[in-house]
């Protein structure tokens, strides 16, 4: 991880260091297989099992992690050798991508494989091989320069320095475009220029695009010294990783605002505690991020316009209630309240009190929260 | 128009000329197929009657007209059969329904009608004549006759007749005549006919020279000719009122009981007496008292010729319902036998004994015991073959034969197809359309239950259907074992293929990833796999 000393000057170097780790992990995988083949052995590779039984909640890191169970892929097994070879191909492909600083999408991976007669049956198979590679190396696909199509956006008085080819060393202030800047490969691989604490002291993540735009128009970033991030629904991994970096590298507290329903609540939770799907990966979550709202109790307290909860919503609440990530007092209280009032409200519901009410009244109150404990 | 004109009597030849459709002479393409087929079958019959392994030579040459449509062709067919005596040739080839017989035995054609139709069709379409040469004895001269048929009067017209020395000691028959044909269209069927005939007559040499000068030769796989069938009298279950009437006209028997005994098979004195009692006819005294001289009146009363029409009907109906006749005599049948059928199948599918032994091909043939339907004996023979020599064409291949004739048309209407179609092949590990499987069904009978006069498909008589089903089931018994083994081998091969595909790639990718200079040697690993893998020599890499 990053040392305290580095943190104090600039965050520069963090990205490059990580890239070196990624490349050496791939080389290590290749070397392991190469050595076994050279010894006339059928190569094997071990990785943590991603089966449901092996996904456990870790109280310390407050996220889902994989347990101690491992699976072994052996080239001697006729059912294993194909995915094993595909794994190696994927490693080779991403090794080239990362080494040449090129990016790719999951769809690209699927098609590139065909040039090597590494025919994947479908996109799903090639996607799952990427997940295998993540599991073996412990790095996420974005580290291998493989990005999904989904994109979200960032806005605020924060300057970044590109590391992508052709832009190395160039900087960009993230407030320079009023629509926000897309969180893509170039931004994800950028170093942060440490901001002035007086100008930037928090991050606000917003589920809905409309509200993100409203916040920019209402100059929330200046009034509250905030970097604004639009998650566009469930936050993409690159965005979750970026949130974590902002929180860890720049010590910025993160506030999350979602719709007031079980689904919005879970968007916040995945940012905070990670998802079961990504249990094989670390450093994608921001354990100290704070869910600011819209809470079920807000619906009551602010008398927000609301819709009744559907059966699906209620079913989701039952599931979340038993989920270890929701063990905290606030979460159980909100689940209870949702059940009691049987209502849900969107973020836009505050417009009932005027377009600026949410910024003038609601937000200042919520930004006083220090955590979701209490 | 007078009544006389309307009801004018027509000769048998005229009748068949006017109704040539029913004998398979509908169009120039169908006609040449039928012509070749009828004459080849006559030749085969002529050889088998004498127990001679047939050598049949057929030459079709183009005379005039377009090559891709109906034109005039010259057809020559030579055989090494028993030959036709010179004085019989005119009637045998120029008179329809000559030599009709009421005895029963298994022959390819019925009454030898088809061959005459073929000559008649040639005469009608080209106004030509037929040249017949024949020798019945290698030591005697060859008779050569030029012949036409007087259609109106159904009489042969001999145009020339001569004999020539038989220096090569030849025996057999040669027929040559011109006929209308559309070879370009008929070709696939004709070639298929020869190919399938070579299967069902594996002891024949067949040679066909087609109008384009191509030579098709099918070599015999054995010289064993199955014994010729014996002629038998009809079985009481297999006659109708008309037949019994004719038989009564010809009989010399003095009593009904004697008539039954002499004119029918499987009836002795006891059976005749028991049957007549059952049928309610008067029963004569036993043989010991027969010497007593009968009065004229008594003899007249007893004479079966004097049976009334109503009595004949009663007699025939009783024959149908009486349950104690012995089964029809199967010695009138001439099946091929399991061994010969296997010879024919292996020969034409190019399956060797080695293929069968090492498990790369499967063949099973069998002959069922004789059975009967409506008083006619029949025998079912079945062959089942599988192997890469068989092209699946997306379905199970069915080869149908009746009395050693291949049936090429209307497969879907045939009882054999119905049976094959209703079998759950998956229980034999057969995937229809994928597993290469050929089924050969041979129905032998003194009367094949054809569904139509076209004689191309067999009706679904329950007795015949039942026998075919049991025959296929029995022959398929070991098919499952064979196919399971094939499946296992194929799996083994697929398994090794997977390793052969991916191990080199693993070597390539890991070399690149680990930045090594040289790829690791994976040959020892691959070799180790094959040791307990594929067993077939051809598929084993070095």
Q: Which residues contact B7 (CB under 8 A, 6 or more apart)?
A: none
Report chain B residues whose CB lies below 8 A from the CB of A81.
Answer: 498-499, 502-503, 506
Q: What is the pTM of this model?
A: 0.62
Distance CA A229, CA A153 (A): 6
Location of structure tokens 């490349």: A23
Q: Which residues contact B250 (CB under 8 A, 6 or more apart)?
A: B102
Concatenating the DSSP letter of every residue in A56-76 gives: EEETTTTEEEE-S-EEEEETT
Print pLDDT tens along chain B (542 aa): 444 444 556 676 777 677 777 667 888 999 999 999 999 999 998 899 889 999 999 999 999 999 888 999 999 999 999 999 988 888 888 877 654 344 566 667 554 567 888 898 999 899 999 999 999 999 999 999 999 988 888 889 999 999 999 999 999 999 999 999 999 999 999 999 999 999 999 999 999 999 999 999 999 999 999 988 887 888 888 888 888 888 888 888 888 889 999 889 889 889 999 999 998 887 665 444 445 566 777 777 778 888 888 889 999 999 988 988 888 888 888 899 999 999 999 999 999 999 998 888 999 999 998 888 887 889 999 999 999 888 878 889 999 999 999 999 888 888 999 999 999 999 999 988 888 999 999 999 988 888 776 677 888 888 899 999 999 999 998 899 999 988 888 888 888 888 998 999 999 999 999 998 899 988 888 887 765 444 443 333 33
Choose among B499, B509, B520: nearest Cβ to A81: B499
**Residue A323, phi-psi category: left (phi > 0), alpha (psi -120 to 50), beta (remainder):** beta
CB contact under 8 A, A91 and B513: yes
Judge residue B160's burial from the number of C-beta atoms within 10 Å of its C-beta, 0-12 exposed, 13-18 middle, 19 or more buried: exposed
| B292 phi and psi angles, rounded to 5 deg | -55, 130
Which value does ipTM take for this structure? 0.73
From B459's Cα to the closest Cα of chain A, the distance in A is: 50
Distance CA A9, CA A6 (A): 6
CB contact under 8 A, B513 and A89: no
**pLDDT tens readout for residues A239-270:** 999 999 999 999 999 999 999 999 999 999 99
pLDDT at B105: 66
Location of structure tokens 């059966």: A311
**pLDDT tens readout for residues A120-141:** 777 778 788 888 899 998 888 8
CB A90 within 8 A of CB A137: no
Distance CA B296, CA A176 (A): 139
Distance CA B429, CA A161 (A): 67
Which of A34, A57, A111, A255 is catalytic? The answer is: A111
b/e burial code for range A272-304 (CB count within 10 A of at least 16 → b): bbbbbebbbbbbbbbeebbbbbbbbbbbeebeb
Q: Residue A40's closest chain B neighbor by CA?
A: B525
Quick one: which of B251, B281, B241, B265 has its CA closest to B273?
A: B281
Report chain B residues whose CB lies below 8 A from the CB of A88.
Answer: 505-506, 509-510, 513
Quick one: which of A147, A145, A131 has its CA closest to A47?
A: A131
- Token representation of residue B499: 């390793």
Terminal-to-terminal C-alpha distance of chain A: 30
Is A326 labeled as catalytic in the residue annotation?
no
Residues from A contacting B (CB-CB < 8 Å) are 26-27, 29-31, 33-34, 37-38, 40-43, 75, 78, 81-82, 84-85, 88-89, 91-92, 95, 116-118
Distance CA A27, CA A169 (A): 28
Choose among B510, B521, B525: nearest Cβ to A88: B510
Choose among B498, B510, B522: nearest Cβ to A82: B498
Residues from B contacting A (CB-CB < 8 Å) are 495, 498-499, 501-503, 505-507, 509-516, 520-522, 524-525
CB A302 within 8 A of CB A350: yes
Q: Residue B520's closest chain A neighbor by CA?
A: A38
Choose among A29, A33, A81: nearest Cβ to B498: A81
SS3 state of residue A200? coil
Report chain B residues whose CB lies below 8 A from the CB of A42.
Answer: 525
| A55 phi and psi angles, rounded to 5 deg | -95, 115
């Amino acid at each position: 991880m990053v040392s305290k000393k580095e943190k104090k000057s600039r965050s520069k170097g963090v990205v490059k260091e990580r890239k070196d780790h990624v490349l050496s992990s791939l080389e290590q995988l290749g070397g392991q297989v190469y050595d076994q083949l050279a010894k006339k052995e059928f190569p094997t590779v071990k990785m943590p099992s991603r089966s449901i039984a092996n996904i456990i909640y870790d109280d310390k890191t407050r996220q889902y992690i994989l347990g101690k169970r491992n699976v072994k892929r052996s080239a001697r097994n006729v059912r294993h050798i194909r995915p094993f070879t595909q794994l190696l191909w994927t490693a080779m492909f991403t090794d080239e991508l990362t080494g040449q600083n090129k990016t790719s999408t999951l769809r690209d991976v699927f098609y590139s494989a065909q040039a090597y007669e590494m025919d994947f049956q479908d996109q799903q198979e090639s996607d799952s091989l990427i997940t295998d590679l993540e599991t073996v190396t412990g790095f996420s696909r974005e580290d291998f320069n493989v990005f999904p199509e989904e994109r979200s956006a960032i806005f605020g008085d924060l300057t970044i320095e590109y590391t992508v080819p052709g832009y190395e060393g160039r900087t960009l202030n993230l407030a320079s475009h009023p629509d926000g800047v897309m969180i893509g490969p170039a931004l994800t691989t950028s170093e942060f220029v440490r901001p002035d604490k007086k100008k930037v002291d928090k991050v606000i993540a917003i589920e809905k695009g409309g509200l993100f735009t409203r916040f920019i128009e209402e100059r929330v970033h200046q009034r509250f010294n905030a970097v604004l991030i639009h998650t566009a629904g469930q936050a993409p991994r690159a965005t979750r990783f970026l949130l974590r970096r902002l929180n860890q590298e720049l010590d910025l507290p993160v506030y999350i605002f979602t719709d007031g329903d079980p689904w919005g609540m879970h968007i916040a939770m995945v940012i905070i505690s990670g998802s079961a799907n990504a249990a094989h990966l670390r450093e994608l979550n921001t354990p100290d991020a704070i869910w600011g709202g819209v809470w079920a109790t807000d619906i009551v307290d602010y008398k927000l316009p609301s819709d009744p909860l559907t059966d699906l919503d209620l079913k989701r609440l039952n599931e979340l209630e038993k989920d270890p990530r929701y063990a905290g007092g606030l979460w159980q209280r909100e689940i209870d309240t949702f059940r009691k009032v049987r209502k849900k409200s969107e973020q836009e519901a505050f417009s009932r009190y005027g377009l600026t009410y949410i910024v003038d009244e609601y937000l200042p109150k919520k930004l006083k929260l220090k955590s979701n404990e209490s | 128009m007078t009544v006389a004109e309307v009801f004018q009597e027509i000769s048998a030849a005229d009748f068949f000329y006017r109704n040539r459709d029913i004998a398979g002479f509908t169009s120039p393409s169908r006609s040449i197929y039928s012509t070749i087929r009828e004459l080849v079958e006559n030749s085969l019959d002529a050889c088998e009657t004498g127990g001679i392994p047939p050598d049949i030579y057929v030459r079709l040459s183009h005379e005039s007209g377009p090559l891709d449509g109906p034109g005039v062709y010259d057809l020559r067919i030579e055989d090494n059969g028993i030959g036709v005596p010179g004085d019989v040739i005119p009637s045998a080839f120029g008179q329809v329904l000559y030599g009709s017989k009421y005895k029963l035995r298994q022959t390819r054609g019925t009454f030898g009608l088809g061959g005459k139709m073929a000559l008649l069709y040639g005469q009608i379409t080209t106004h030509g004549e037929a040249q017949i040469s024949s020798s019945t004895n290698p030591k005697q001269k060859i008779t050569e006759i030029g012949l036409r048929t007087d259609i109106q009067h159904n009489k042969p017209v001999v145009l020339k007749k001569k004999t020539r020395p038989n220096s090569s000691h030849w025996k057999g028959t040669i027929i040559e005549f011109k006929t209308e044909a559309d070879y370009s269209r008929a070709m696939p069927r004709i070639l298929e006919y020869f190919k399938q005939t070579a299967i069902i007559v594996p002891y024949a040499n067949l040679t066909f020279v087609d109008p384009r000068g191509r030579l098709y030769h099918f070599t015999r796989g054995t010289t064993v000719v199955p014994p010729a069938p014996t002629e038998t009298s009809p079985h009481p279950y297999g006659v109708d009122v008309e037949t019994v009437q004719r038989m009564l006209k010809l009989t010399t028997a003095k009593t009904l009981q004697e008539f039954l005994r002499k004119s029918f098979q499987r009836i002795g004195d006891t059976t005749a007496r028991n049957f007549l009692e059952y049928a309610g006819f008067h029963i004569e005294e036993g043989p010991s008292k027969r010497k007593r001289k009968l009065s004229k009146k008594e003899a007249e009363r007893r004479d079966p010729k004097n049976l009334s029409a109503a009595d004949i009907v009663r007699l025939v109906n009783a024959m149908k319902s009486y349950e104690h006749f012995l089964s029809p005599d199967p010695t009138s049948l001439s099946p091929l036998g399991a061994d010969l059928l296997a010879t024919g199948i292996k020969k034409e599918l190019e399956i060797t004994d080695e293929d069968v032994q090492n498990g790369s091909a499967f063949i099973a043939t069998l002959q069922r015991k004789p059975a009967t339907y409506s008083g006619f004996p029949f025998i079912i023979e079945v062959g089942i073959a599988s192997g890469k020599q068989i092209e699946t064409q997306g379905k199970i291949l069915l080869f149908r034969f009746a009395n050693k004739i291949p049936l090429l048309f209307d497969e879907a209407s045939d009882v054999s197809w119905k049976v094959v179609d209703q079998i759950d092949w998956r229980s034999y590990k057969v995937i229809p359309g994928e597993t290469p499987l050929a089924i050969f069904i041979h129905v032998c009978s003194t009367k094949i239950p054809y569904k139509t006069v076209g004689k191309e498909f067999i009706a679904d008589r329950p007795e015949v259907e039942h026998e075919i089903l049991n025959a296929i089931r029995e022959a398929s018994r070991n098919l499952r074992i064979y196919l399971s083994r094939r499946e296992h081998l194929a799996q083994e091969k697929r398994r090794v293929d997977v390793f052969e595909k991916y191990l080199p790639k693993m070597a390539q990718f890991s070399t690149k990833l680990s930045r090594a200079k040289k790829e690791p040697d994976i040959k020892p690993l691959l070799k180790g796999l094959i040791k307990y893998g594929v067993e077939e020599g051809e598929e084993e890499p070095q």
